[in-house]
Every structure is written in C-alpha cells, then in structure tokens.
Amino acid sequence: MDKMPRWADVLLVPLICLIIAFFFCGILIWAIGQSPVEALTIMITGSLGSTYGWGYTLYYATNFMFTGLAVSIAFQASLFNIGGEGQATLGGLGVALSCLFIPWPHWSLALAGSMVAAMAFGAAWAFLPAWLQAKRGSHIVITTMMFNFIAYALMNYLLVNVLRPVGKMDPASARFDEVTNLPQLGEILALVGIPFSTRNPANISLLIALACAVGVWVLLWHTRLGFAIRAFGKSEKAAVYAGISPVRITLYAMMLSGALSGLMAINSVQGEANRLLLNSVEGAGFIGIAVALMGRNHPFGIVIASILFGFLYQGGSQLALGTTIPREVIVVLQALVILFTGALPYMVQKPLERLFVRRAA
C-alpha cells in the first residue's frame, strides 16, 4: 500500500488544514487583543447555529457553487478561466433585462427566462476570449481578465446612462416586478414540513446550483463531450490524434464555463437584490477559483467547498456585527482559511501519507 485510503485524502486532509487555519486565526485574534474562543463561537453560531444563519451561509454558497463549477469545467480542459467575474456580471445583465422588459405571468416562467438569458449572456462573454485562444493563441488568462474590466465598464455605462430610473441616485436598475421574485428556501422547505427561516436570501437557486453540480458531473464523466474535454485537458496532442478538434473543445468548455458563471446571477440578482446593482458579483468569480481548487475540480468537492466559503462569509459578517474586530482583519482571517485549505493541502497530505504508509507496512 503506497497510498493512503481515499477517505483520509478526501476528509482528513481538509479537516486538518481547517484546524491549522483556525489555529493561526486564533493567534491573530489573540494578538489584536480579542478572545479567539468568543470569535469562533460567534462565527459558528452566527452562520450555522440557526436556520437564519444557515440561510445566509447557503445563499453565499450558492454563488460559489456556480462560479466554482464554472472554473472547474474550464480547468478540465486545462483552460484557466479568470473571467468568472465578468461573465457573471453579464449574466446579471441578462437576468435584469429579462425581468425588467418581459411581463412574466409567473415566477417559474420568469426563472426559466432568466436562466436562459443569464446563460446566453455569460456564454457570449466567454466566447470571444475562447475564440481568441483557440484561433489566435491569445492566452486565456489575460483575455478573460481583460474582459472582466470591459464588463465592469459596460455595466457602469448601462446602469448610469440607460437602466437607472431618472432622478435616482443609485447606479442600479429599477426593482423587478414582484412576480419575478423567487421562492425562498424557507418557503420551499415549509412545503415538506421543515421549519426554516424566511428572513434570509437563500432561495430556489440553491436547488438549481445542486442540479448543476450533478449535471456537470454527468457531463464530464458520462458523456462524449465530457470525455473530449478531459482528454483535451490532459494532452492536446493526444486529443488531436484521437480526432478531437481543439478549437471546438476550447469554445465548448469556455462557453459552458461562462454559462455557469452567468447563472450565478439568478441567485444574486433575481433571488436577493431584485434589481441589478453595479457590483452584484462581488468577487464570487474569483472566489470560484479557490472553491474549484479546494474542491479538487470535482462537483461534489465544489459543493462542500462552497458551503465552507459560505460559512466564512456569513461568519465574517457576524464577526463584524458581534465584535469590534476590524473589517480588514476579517478579510485576513478569511484569507488564512483559504490559504491553508486551498493552497497548502500538500503540506498536510505528504506527512499524513507517510504516516499511513508506515502503519500499513
């Protein structure tokens, strides 16, 4: 036996990473003169101690599931899509246009329409960088990042000059019609008799995100296209030899990725804000990269990692509300957890592996 059991790799490594991360967070909190135990208690009870807290945790997690899945699909084709931010911004525009200008009779139709619009806009935003990569060899990291800035500028132009109601100060669109409001998670769970707070933004998008995770898993490991994407990611030359078109796979993978990023907007734009804001994405596109890394590019891992990041976001909010720990330190705490769980698992993996191998020997 030269490898450790899979359960240890999947469960024990992240757990140990998390404990190390919390240890260093504790030192930091202690160093600024606060109580680490109290801070940790506030974080955990605030985000997981009530259905209200869970609602926020799951709301953030839903965003990260979409963007994490988006990054992972492109990653399987060894394309590093940093443009989740821009694609999700455009997805938000699609959702807003659909909700503002189409008189939907029912929320379910509005949701379907928004999903189509969000995916179309997100995919369209990913198309050009993908085409440039496939045809011209312009590096996808550079082009997608540039497209983020173009998306910001476009959104700013549209919100300030076109979509903003006259006389309003806020560069945001008008509120969507109430018909388009999505059912909240609390309302859905009440149908099956589970009491869950409705005073939080968690909504039906969570179920769609979970369905997308299953969909991505089926696509990648049980379809021909998924096989082609993975084969292309492993070795472009071998893929070409097997008759797989690099241009087509690059385009498909990136547009799927863009569509998933765009879908995030049904949660943040339609589910939470009910209007289009200037920064509706709020870094979720970038967090998606960390989520995908931590979830080892597997849909199941991404769902778990998303919930952890949701916990960090909601716990961080509660920390700001419940203590006098400054906002900047909270960002450092979140970053420490990301550092240890996302970037440094190998630090734990190797010694642990040795431990297991020695015991088995």
Interface contacts to other proteins, rule CB under 8 A: 56, 59-60, 152-153, 156-157, 160, 164, 166-167, 169-172, 175, 199-201, 268, 272-273, 275, 277-280, 282-283, 313, 316-317, 320-321, 326-327, 330-331
Task: Report, in Å, the least distance between residue 319 CB and other proteins.
Answer: 10
How many other CB atoms are there within 10 angstroms of residue 112's CB atom? 13
Rounded-to-integer distance, Cα 318 and Cα 24, Å: 19
Task: Report, in Å, the least distance between residue 263 CB and other proteins.
Answer: 17
Structure tokens at 116: 């189509």
Task: Report, in Å, the least distance between residue 354 CB and other proteins.
Answer: 40
Looking at this protein, which amino acid is placed at residue 45?
A: T
Q: What angle do CA 17, 19, 24 make, to 5 degrees?
A: 95
Nearer to other proteins, 109 or 160 (CB): 160
Task: Report, in Å, the least distance between residue 341 CB and other proteins.
Answer: 20
Strands (E), 115-209: none
Task: Report, in Å, the least distance between residue 272 CB and other proteins.
Answer: 6
Task: Report, in Å, the least distance between residue 171 CB and other proteins.
Answer: 5
Nearer to other proteins, 114 or 200 (CB): 200
Q: Give me the sign of the Cα torsion angle 240, 243, 247, 251.
A: negative
Nearer to other proteins, 49 or 215 (CB): 49
Task: Report, in Å, the least distance between residue 333 CB and other proteins.
Answer: 12
The distance between the two most distant Cα atoms of the chain, rounded to a whole number of Å, is 75
Beta pairing partners, 49: none
Rounded-to-integer distance, Cα 55 and Cα 50, Å: 8
Nearer to other proteins, 86 or 113 (CB): 86
DSSP assignment of 87-139, as one string? HHHHHHHHHHHHHHHS--SSHHHHHHHHHHHHHHHHHHHHHHHHHIIIII---
Cα 262 to chain centroid, rounded? 11
Nearer to other proteins, 94 or 201 (CB): 201
What angle do the packed helices 140-157 and 107-131 form, to 10 degrees? 130
Nearer to other proteins, 78 or 197 (CB): 197
Nearer to other proteins, 95 or 272 (CB): 272
Task: Report, in Å, the least distance between residue 282 CB and other proteins.
Answer: 5
Cβ atoms 325, 316 nearer than 8 A: no
Structure tokens at 3: 């490898």
Nearer to other proteins, 12 or 174 (CB): 174
Cβ atoms 77, 233 nearer than 8 A: yes
